[in-house]
Amino acid sequence: MSPKKIILAVTGSIAAYKSAFLTRLLIKEGFEVQVIMTGSAKDFVSPLTFSTLSKRPVHVDVSNESSWNNHVEMGLWADAMIIAPATANTIAKMANGICDNMVTATYLSAKCQVYIAPAMDLDMWKHPATIANLEKLKSYGHHIIPVGNGELASGLVGDGRMAEPEDIVNFISGNSANLPLAGKKALVTAGPTYEKIDPVRFIGNHSSGKMGVAIAMELAKQGATVDLVLGPSKIAVDYPGVHVTRVEAAAEMYEAADKYFKKCDVAVLAAAVADYKPKEQATQKIKKKDESLSITLEKTVDIAASLGKIKKKGQTIIGFALETNDEEANAMEKMKRKNFDMIVLNSLQDKGAGFNHDTNKVTIFTSKGQKLDFELKSKQEVAADVVTCYIELLRSK
């Protein structure tokens, strides 16, 4: 059951401005919203903004000269408490039971569901202390609303942006039935593959998995249930609606992708799959003996082409093309040969595009002859563009 009475706790981050919009959205969705703030949140947005939007007085101090704001009563009144934005400081206090302001006092008194929408700079987000604090809060049964990736207040680009207000509302109200991809099943391949030479060596590539993981998250955000088949990648994926199968070699990726493809509506193939693998794998470490060593390679299975051959009516395949030259011609040839409905071209000629970066610059081609050029953007924004193109393709069918 979705909550009705909500405490929205705003803490001191530039993302506090988004919480004004979040208040409006929650009210529009029929929630009763009680806003509370930390003292430093007031430096970003005035309590008057929130009291005007929520039509309730906003509480900042536990007490003043003449009255006491009953945080215990408030904690009991609410069906849910959302801390948005939740700074690294407030997260640390919550994880350690520190109670020194209205937000932390109410949090410790709350018996309801707690949702945390973190907002911070990327290095703070990656710090082991923040990771450990969030793990602790998760172990209390609290929900962590995934952060976005993009430009941060510091000017750096990366993870740490507070989720968009619409996504927070969908997250807490389980509103996925209204989303454009509700009821759709998606398969995403991501990351590199490692083809073993011997027990210690392999043939691989520089793919980090970031692009494919961002696509899987965006599809889930738009309501799809996603099977993500992920090659060796350091990314820990923990996102509602995304089920991860970890694989290593192209053959394993094919096996998993083939299994999920049969039931999916859309497959997005962002993995950088090795095209060749050693014909034989040495069972023992190959010793250094001669001046040169030859390894015979054989073709791996082309996952995309195989899925393209068994694609049924109603299924969509979106492929990627990573090129270094003759980009458009190569991408078009791949789209045709592999029976894709769309292809996302990224070129290593473009600075900030392709492997490992947090950004990418793509051109999307459809089999119907459309060509859409995009600027350099965060991979999360690129994922949103790709998924929007898919949604438009569905609507045009």
What residues line the site for ligand PMT (CB under 6 A)? 189, 191, 207-211, 250, 269-273, 275, 300, 302-304, 319-322, 334, 346, 354-356
Q: Which two tokens stand for residue 143?
A: 């929900």
| Least gap, CB of 336 to ligand PMT (angstroms) | 12
Quick one: 102 or 272, whose CB is closer to ligand PMT? 272
Answer for the pair 119, 13: CB distance below 8 angstroms, yes or no.
yes
| Least gap, CB of 245 to ligand PMT (angstroms) | 15
Rounded distance between C-alpha atoms, residue 196 and residue 282, angstroms? 9
| Least gap, CB of 278 to ligand PMT (angstroms) | 15
Quick one: 105 or 197, whose CB is closer to ligand PMT? 197
Q: Is 339 a catalytic residue?
A: no
Burial grade of 390 (CB within 10 A; 0-12, 13-18, 19 or more):
buried
One of 205, 325, 339, 356 is an active-site residue; which one?
A: 205
Quick one: 320 or 390, whose CB is closer to ligand PMT? 320
Rounded distance between C-alpha atoms, residue 113 and residue 172, angstroms? 9
Nearest of 167, 116, 119 to residue 140 by alpha carbon: 116
| Least gap, CB of 268 to ligand PMT (angstroms) | 8
Rounded distance between C-alpha atoms, residue 317 and residue 341, angstroms? 5
Quick one: 45 or 304, whose CB is closer to ligand PMT? 304
Query: CA dist 267 to 86, 319, 332, 341, 343, Å?
Result: 35, 8, 18, 10, 12
Query: CA dist 396 to 292, 382, 389, 391, Å?
Result: 57, 21, 10, 9
Active-site residues, by number, are 205
